[in-house]
Amino acid sequence: MLREKKRVIWIILTLGLLLSFPVFSFSQEYRIGPEDLLSISFWQQPDLNSVLKVRQDGKVSLPVIGEIMAAGLTMAELSKKIVEKISFYNKSISQATVVILEYNSQKVFVQGQVNRPGKYSFESIPNLWEVITEAGGPAEGADLSIVKIIRGGDEAGKTLRVNLAQALEKGDFTKLPKLKIGDTVEIPRSILSFGTERGAPAPSFTGRNVYYIYGQVARPNVYPLEGEIDLLDAIVLAGGPTPNANMKKVKVLIKGATYSSVVEINLEDFSTKGRPSRLLIHPEDTIVIPGKGGGFLSRVWNFSRDLIPLSTAIISLYLLVDRLNQGDRTR
């Protein structure tokens, strides 16, 4: 009985300590900026409700009170400021609800070999890989070993080169440069992929029900997630592992609500020990098949994979020229 009482007291003390800490909300701490789209509503007088964009000077224009500075304030601070001003005209209004509909001031540009290049806005700018996946993931022929970050803002024009392929293989993004507001991410095309287009359109998937697979597989790309797919199924759908794939260290970057966790799995001996426990792939997960090292086999495979379509293009061009020459001789 005494032990049970001690346990209850310990639980109460623990809960008390936890509740004594302040609770932080990323949404509440976000500072409004130019071009953000706001919804401002008054439940006591709905005809004053507005949806408006913050101007470049940081101000918004509201019914009754006119212009008010919004930039630099949190949603709670702006709400309080609006109520203070509007209460001079209508004392019955004691509450204003401010909601950010679009975080347009927190924007990053993505261009080059991605499936959906363009401008992307975030409440809090994520890491480099998450920004690229937001842009549809790398397109065919993308070279992730020399991704460029072109700084905006005060460092406008400064360029950083990042080996994202290496970070993916390690499953560690902590050493990647942090993206800042106004940065441009540029994913170049592999040199050997120029002129080797197969004519297939870039993947186009609605929503975020996709997964990504990169590294030592035959067809690294973004794939639609249809029904239940486990890790082995996903690798097979991507053409299977290359001869240089290190199946002992397959990594799955599991996309969470606020961060990604990394799971490393040994798939090398599943053929002798039986199929491993099913690891289901979820929307926006990333599978990375690392290589066995920079050995001769790795270099031969990587070179030949890019060289085959290039050779096909050269042979096709030669046959076309030869056909034209034959036509000239028969005239």
pLDDT digits (tens, 9 = 90+) for 214-270: 888 888 888 888 888 899 899 999 999 998 888 888 888 887 655 567 888 888 866
Residues near 209 by beta carbon (within 8 Å), at least 6 away in sequence: 224, 225, 283
Q: Are residues 115 and 91 in the same domain?
A: no
Whether 20 is in a domain gets the answer no
Q: What integer pLDDT is reported at residue 330 of this predicted model?
A: 55
Q: Find residue 214's DSSP bridge partners.
A: 288
Whether 275 is in a domain gets the answer yes
Q: Which of 204, 219, 250 is the last residue of a domain?
A: 204
Q: Are residues 268 and 239 in the same domain?
A: yes
Q: Are residues 153 and 218 in the same domain?
A: no
Q: How many residues does the chain have?
A: 331
Whether 18 is in a domain gets the answer no
Whether 314 is in a domain gets the answer yes
List phi, psi (to 5°) of 322. -60, -40
**Positions in the chain short of pLDDT 70:** 1-28, 191-208, 256-260, 269-277, 293-331
Whether 15 is in a domain gets the answer no
Q: Are residues 134 and 200 in the same domain?
A: yes
Q: What integer pLDDT is reported at residue 205 of this predicted model?
A: 53
Q: What integer pLDDT is reported at residue 263 of this predicted model?
A: 84
State how many domains the chain has: 4
Q: End-to-end CA distance of the chain, in Å? A: 109
How far is the C-alpha of 66 from the C-alpha of 70, rounded, in Å? 12
Q: What integer pLDDT is reported at residue 191 of this predicted model?
A: 66
pTM of the model: 0.62
Q: Are residues 211 and 279 in the same domain?
A: yes
Q: Are residues 192 and 110 in the same domain?
A: yes
Whether 4 is in a domain gets the answer no
Q: What integer pLDDT is reported at residue 269 of this predicted model?
A: 67
Listed in sequence order, the DSSP H helices in 87-177 are 128-134, 164-170
Q: What integer pLDDT is reported at residue 249 of this predicted model?
A: 86
Q: Are residues 214 and 200 in the same domain?
A: no
Q: Are residues 251 and 173 in the same domain?
A: no
How far is the C-alpha of 97 from the C-alpha of 82, rounded, in Å? 10
Q: Which of 185, 204, 223 is the last residue of a domain?
A: 204
Task: For residue 137, give the DSSP letter.
Answer: -
Q: Which of 78, 102, 126 is the last residue of a domain?
A: 102
Cβ neighbours around 207 below 10 Å, total? 8
Q: Are residues 267 and 307 in the same domain?
A: no
Amino acid at 188: P
Whether 120 is in a domain gets the answer yes
Domain CATH for 218? 3.10.560.10
Q: Are residues 286 and 237 in the same domain?
A: yes
Helix (H), strand (E) counts: the chain: 8, 15
Do 318 and 244 meet the contact criterion of CB atoms below 8 Å apart?
A: no
Q: What integer pLDDT is reported at residue 291 of this predicted model?
A: 83
**Strands, sheet with 50-53, edge to edge from the N-terminal-most edge strand:** 50-53, 37-41, 97-102
Q: Are residues 56 and 80 in the same domain?
A: yes
Q: What integer pLDDT is reported at residue 210 of this predicted model?
A: 86
C-alpha angle 246-172-236 in degrees, rounded to nearest 5: 35
Structural domain harbouring 301:
297-331
Amino acid at 311: S
Q: Are residues 182 and 215 in the same domain?
A: no
How far is the C-alpha of 124 from the C-alpha of 67, rounded, in Å? 27
Whether 12 is in a domain gets the answer no
